[in-house]
A = this chain, B = another copy of it.
Amino acid sequence: MFASAESAPARRGRPGYDRAQVLAVAVELFNEQGYDATSVADLAQRLGLTKSALYHHFDSKEQLLALALDEALSGLEGLLDDPAIAGAAPADRLAGVLRGAVLVLVDRLPYVTLLLRVRGNSDVERAALERRRAFDHRVTQLVAEAQSAGSVRSDVDGAVVTRLVFGMVNSIVEWYRPGGAIDRDRLAHDVVTVALDGMRTR
B residues less than 8 Å from A143 (CB atoms): 199
| A31 CB to nearest B CB, Å | 14
Cα(A146)–Cα(B190), bound, Å: 17
A157 CB–B CB distance under 8 Å: yes
Q: Which one of B150, B165, B171, B201 lies within 8 Å of A199 (CB-CB)?
A: B165
Number of copies of chain A assembled together: 2
Decide: B161 and A172 in contact? CB cutoff 8 A.
no
**Given A167-B171, A168-B171, A171-B171, A94-B199 contact (CB < 8 Å):** yes
Decide: A160 and B182 in contact? CB cutoff 8 A.
yes
A24 CB–B CB distance under 8 Å: no
A21 CB–B CB distance under 8 Å: no
Cα(A193)–Cα(B195), bound, Å: 10
Decide: A157 and B171 in contact? CB cutoff 8 A.
no
B residues less than 8 Å from A163 (CB atoms): 171, 175
Chain A 119-162, CB-CB to B under 8 Å as 1, else 0, gives 00000000000000000000000010010001111011100110
- Residues of A in contact (CB 8 Å), total 39
A191 CB–B CB distance under 8 Å: yes
A164 CB–B CB distance under 8 Å: yes
A36 CB–B CB distance under 8 Å: no
Decide: A199 and B156 in contact? CB cutoff 8 A.
yes
B residues less than 8 Å from A198 (CB atoms): 193-198
Known pairs A164-B191, A167-B172, A195-B199 / 10 extra A-B pairs, C-beta < 8 Å: A150-B201, A153-B197, A153-B201, A156-B190, A156-B194, A157-B182, A160-B190, A163-B175, A164-B168, A166-B171
Q: 3 nearest interchain CB pairs?
A: A167-B171, A198-B198, A168-B168
Give A residues with C-beta under 8 Å from B.
91, 94, 143, 146, 150-153, 155-157, 160-161, 163-168, 170-172, 174-175, 182, 186-187, 189-191, 193-201
16 interchain pairs (CB within 8 A)?
A150-B201, A152-B199, A153-B200, A156-B189, A156-B190, A156-B193, A160-B182, A164-B168, A165-B194, A166-B171, A167-B167, A167-B170, A167-B174, A194-B195, A196-B200, A197-B197
